[in-house]
């Protein structure tokens, strides 16, 4: 599994998506909204869930201002609640799915919070929820070339490790380079392990991943620390990019013919913080096969959700 270099990518290169159904989490703001906008522009039907109906409806209204005939379906989904994940999956598992984009996430919550299921909120929202959602929707994803499962990770994954004795940050909570970075490393490991299992069973579905670089979105608002504010003052003018640019790696991972099994895309600029989407570096920790297998088993145990035949792959 390797990521191929791509030519400079723009939204104009997105193939026609007419007749294709996309489920995109976190599409009500930031890079998710820009991803939805460009896929809708190319004719995709997009299920766009948010934690409240008002947020989903507002995001859809903003898209329809630009694309009046956009095919958009609002829904409610809170990835921090397994009951919500199950309810959403039950609502949308009857119609075949072409692309599932696991984009929604939270970042650098100042204090450790627990979800209704008793999980640390960043690990639950960024990893466990998307893992369960993918498993529950997996039977509805078309078994054909062109079907993809896209997981949005982060360059912060390069500075993380999976601490199986601290997955819920119960021993030590570090908002950014602890809980958040571990959850995004888990996302990347999941994308690669999912692809390994898809290959093992002969499935044509692709698992790909992307990260937006240093895209300025509302996620950064959670980190109110003085250190982050000072870092932002230094980095923003030279290394940040807007959410439209940050969405491009996700779009490549979702629709580009250049994306192969286990591809990972991010900006091609210094430190992968900004620039055109291209092959991203994959942390050594994300390639550890033993960690991938163990994390998969742990996610199934914690969520109580299985991938069926994929779960039995050795």
pLDDT tens by residue, 69-126: 999 999 999 999 999 999 999 999 888 999 999 999 999 999 999 999 999 999 999 9
Catalytic, 214? Answer: no
Q: Is residue 310 part of a domain?
A: no
CB-hemisphere CA count at 13 Å for 28? Answer: 19
Q: Is residue 143 part of a domain?
A: yes
Structure tokens at 19: 């007749």
Q: Is residue 2 part of a domain?
A: no
Please give the full DSSP string across 187-250, using - where no structure is assigned: HHHHHHHHHHHHHHTT---EEEEE---SB--GGGGG---HHHHHHHHHHHHHH-B-HHHHTHHH
* Mean pLDDT along residues 180-194: 98
CB-hemisphere CA count at 13 Å for 143? Answer: 6
Reduced to 3 states, what is the DSSP secondary structure of residue 299? Answer: helix
Residue showing tokens 């959670």? 222
Instruction: Spot the catalytic one: 173, 180, 214, 264.
Output: 180
Q: Is residue 257 part of a domain?
A: yes
- Domain of residue 99: give its range: 11-301
Q: Is residue 1 part of a domain?
A: no
**In this predicted structure, what is the pLDDT of residue 93?**
86
**Residue 97's CATH number:** 3.40.50.720
* Mean pLDDT along residues 192-215: 96
**In this predicted structure, what is the pLDDT of residue 1?**
45
Q: Is residue 4 part of a domain?
A: no
Q: Is residue 231 part of a domain?
A: yes
Using pLDDT thresholds of 50, 70 and 90, give the confidence band for residue 17: very high
Q: Mean pLDDT for the chain?
A: 92
Q: Is residue 187 part of a domain?
A: yes
Using pLDDT thresholds of 50, 70 and 90, give the confidence band for residue 287: very high
Q: Cα dist. 254→22, 63, 88, 207, 247 in Å?
A: 10, 19, 21, 9, 11
> Which residue would you say has higher pLDDT here, 3 or 8?
8
pLDDT digits (tens, 9 = 90+) for 260-278: 999 999 999 888 999 999 9
Number of domains the chain contains? 1
């Amino acid at each position: 599994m390797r990521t191929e270099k791509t030519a400079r990518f723009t939204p104009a290169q997105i193939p026609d998506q007419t007749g294709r159904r996309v489920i995109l989490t976190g599409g009500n703001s930031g890079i998710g909204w820009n991803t939805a906008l460009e896929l809708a522009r190319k004719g995709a039907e997009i299920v766009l869930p948010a934690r409240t109906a008002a947020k989903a409806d507002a995001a859809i209204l903003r898209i329809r201002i630009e694309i009046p005939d956009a095919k958009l379906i609002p829904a409610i989904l809170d990835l921090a609640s397994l009951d919500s994940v199950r309810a959403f999956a039950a609502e949308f598992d009857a119609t075949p799915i072409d692309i599932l984009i696991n984009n929604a996430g939270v970042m650098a919550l100042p204090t450790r919070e627990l979800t209704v299921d008793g999980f640390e909120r960043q690990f639950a929202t960024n990893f466990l929820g998307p893992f369960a959602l993918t498993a529950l929707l997996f039977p509805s994803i078309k078994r054909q070339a062109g079907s993809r499962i896209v997981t949005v990770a982060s360059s912060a994954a390069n500075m993380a490790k999976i601490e199986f004795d601290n997955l819920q940050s119960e021993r030590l909570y570090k908002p950014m380079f602890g809980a958040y970075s571990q959850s995004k490393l888990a996302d990347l490991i999941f994308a690669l392990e999912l692809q390994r299992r898809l290959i093992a069973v002969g499935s044509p579905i692709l698992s790909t991943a992307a990260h937006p670089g240093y895209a300025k979105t509302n996620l950064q608002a959670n980190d109110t620390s003085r250190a982050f504010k000072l870092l932002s003052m230094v980095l923003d003018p030279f290394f940040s990019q807007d959410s439209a640019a940050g969405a491009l790696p996700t779009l490549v991972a979702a629709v580009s013919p250049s994306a192969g099994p286990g591809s990972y895309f991010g900006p091609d600029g210094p430190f992968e913080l900004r620039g055109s989407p291209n092959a991203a570096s994959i942390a050594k920790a994300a390639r550890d096969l033993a960690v991938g297998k163990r994390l998969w088993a742990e996610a199934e145990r914690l969520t109580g959700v299985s991938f069926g035949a994929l779960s039995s792959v050795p």
